[in-house]
């Protein structure tokens, strides 16, 4: 009986929390009963479309749906190119961005981030070239591709300045590609010696295409990924922070990350713009 009462009390508390968060939503969101989220589904396992059903899937998708449910709203997805996401948010076309976006200081001029996971840039190559590139330093002087829409080209150049040029070795030749899929295609074609992707995606990629790729070394950056909100939209930002805190407390946050084998990318608490908050 005590256990049942305790469970009932917990359920009531969560319901009250959800109601309180719904009250904190901006009037436009409450009136619409939905949030419009910018997402480009080309970054598995974070976001992608099932080729058989065309259904959106991925960690970001599952987390976004759980957060919306916690807030008592539905989700309308807006498939928007990564480079247009910030402008779409500024013009009100979308309410937030949830699409594998890194919380970088330079982006905070226009956005506030509710961080939800750890990430990092990591080198990889083809399985056929694994003996040529056993450590990241082996890529010095070699051609390495990565999505030009991300922070990876700048981060790779900084890594090269310290670890290649700084050690008297030739610089990394950074090639900005049209996306991570384009980098993989060029890598398979032999036009690239290596590539860079987020560390959260590589285990999925290696498992999906068995015998195709080899991860090289550890991530050479450490960043947070976050949901992006307009600077003026603090009400929605804080409502999402509260909803994420509730998912962490209930265990649903961990369940979602475990589904994709990314427990190591979880955060211990709520962070806004890289800073811990209560």
pLDDT, tens digit (0-9, with 9 covering 90-100), for 11-56: 434 444 444 455 589 999 999 999 999 999 988 899 999 989 999 9
Task: Determine the average pLDDT of the residues in 204-230.
Answer: 94
Instruction: Please tell me if the domain spanning 2-119+224-276 has the same topology as the one spanning 121-216.
Output: yes
* The predicted structure's pLDDT at residue 42: 86
The Cα–Cα gap between 12 and 32 comes to 26
- Find the range with the poorest average confidence among 20-24, 100-104, 187-191, 192-196: 20-24
In degrees rounded to 5, what are phi and psi of residue 48? -165, 170
- What fold is seen in the domain 2-119+224-276? D-Maltodextrin-Binding Protein; domain 2 (3.40.190)
Residue 154 confidence (pLDDT) above 50: yes
The architecture CATH gives domain 121-216 = 3-Layer(aba) Sandwich (3.40)
Task: Determine the average pLDDT of the residues in 120-135.
Answer: 97
Task: Determine the average pLDDT of the residues in 231-244.
Answer: 97
* The predicted structure's pLDDT at residue 6: 43
Residue 8 confidence (pLDDT) above 70: no
* The predicted structure's pLDDT at residue 13: 42
Return the half-sphere exposure (C-beta side, CA atoms, 13 A cut-off) of residue 123: 28
Nearest to 253 by CA among 261, 244, 262: 244
Give the predicted TM-score (pTM) of the model. Answer: 0.81
Question: For the chain, which residues make up each domain, given as ranges?
Answer: 2-119+224-276, 121-216
* The predicted structure's pLDDT at residue 21: 53
């Amino acid at each position: 009986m005590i256990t049942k009462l305790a469970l009932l009390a917990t359920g009531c508390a969560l319901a009250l929390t959800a109601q309180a968060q719904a009250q904190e939503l901006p009037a436009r969101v409450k009136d619409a009963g939905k949030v419009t989220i910018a997402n480009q589904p080309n970054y598995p396992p974070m976001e992608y479309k099932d080729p058989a059903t065309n259904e959106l899937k991925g960690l970001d998708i599952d987390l976004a749906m759980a957060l919306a449910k916690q807030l008592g709203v539905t989700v309308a997805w807006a498939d928007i190119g990564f480079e247009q996401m910030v402008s779409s948010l500024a013009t009100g076309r979308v309410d937030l961005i949830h699409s594998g976006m890194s919380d970088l200081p330079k982006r905070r001029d226009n956005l506030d981030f509710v961080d939800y996971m750890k990430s990092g840039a990591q080198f990889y190559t083809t399985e056929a070239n694994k003996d040529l590139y056993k450590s990241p330093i082996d890529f010095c002087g070699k051609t390495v591709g990565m999505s030009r829409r991300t922070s990876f080209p700048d981060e790779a150049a900084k890594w090269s300045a310290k670890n290649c040029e700084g050690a008297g070795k030739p610089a990394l030749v950074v090639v900005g590609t049209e996306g991570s899929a384009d980098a993989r295609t060029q890598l398979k074609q032999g036009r690239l010696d290596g590539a860079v992707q987020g560390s959260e995606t590589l285990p999925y990629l290696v498992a999906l295409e068995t015998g195709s790729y080899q991860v090289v070394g550890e991530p050479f950056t450490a960043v947070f990924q976050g949901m992006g909100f307009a600077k003026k939209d603090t009400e929605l930002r804080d409502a999402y922070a509260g909803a994420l805190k509730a998912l962490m407390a209930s265990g649903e946050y961990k369940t979602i990350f475990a589904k994709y084998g990314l427990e190591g990318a979880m955060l211990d608490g709520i962070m806004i713009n890289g800073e811990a908050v209560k």
